[in-house]
Amino acid sequence: MTRRATFKPLRHQGGFSLLEVLIALLVLGFGLLGFALLQTMNVRFVQSAGYRTQATNLAYDLIDLMRVQRTDTLNGGAYGTASFAAGSVTPSAGPCAWPTGTITQAQNIARWQCQVVKTLGDKAAASVSMDAGVVTVGITWGDQRWDKANPDTTTTFTLVSRL
């Protein structure tokens, strides 16, 4: 018995319809838009984290300077005058230079204030207090430049340490 091959008629292949292509492009467009929004938010958060890291380093820097001159600091030294309001410190045109030779507390304070303003911007401010050997350093800076509703909102980092 011989087999006879039967052929079914070929159906016309249509591929993708124009509507399917448009829907796929719409879904892709929303995905790319979401990704772009995610990237802009990431840039904002990374910048904010960078400022917070700089504020942390600056607060530790001042406390380390106080520890280096511990005796003078505990005997009512000048480090309480390291506090300053936003806009009250005008940094030098160049980098904030480390003093050389015999270094006074006033020189350390001036360099530290210069660094705070250069690093965190013109809205930066600091408060320093000491009570029975416990030092509190608070650094405030403008961290909401992208927020149209509250562009003047500030962020404060506070460090408490015992000398």
Residue 116 structure tokens: 């705070």
Q: Which of 27, 7, 10 is nearest to 19 (CA)?
A: 27
Amino acid identity at 106? A
**Cα 106 to Cα 67: distance, rounded to the nearest angstrom:** 15
Choice between 138 and 1, residue whose per-residue pLDDT is larger: 138
Give the pLDDT of residue 133. Answer: 84
Residues contacting residue 104 through CB under 8 Å, at least 6 positions apart: 78
For the chain, the domains span 17-160
**Cα 85 to Cα 88: distance, rounded to the nearest angstrom:** 6
Q: What is the pLDDT of residues 127-159, one digit of tens each?
A: 998 888 889 999 999 877 666 677 678 889 999
**Cα 23 to Cα 130: distance, rounded to the nearest angstrom:** 65
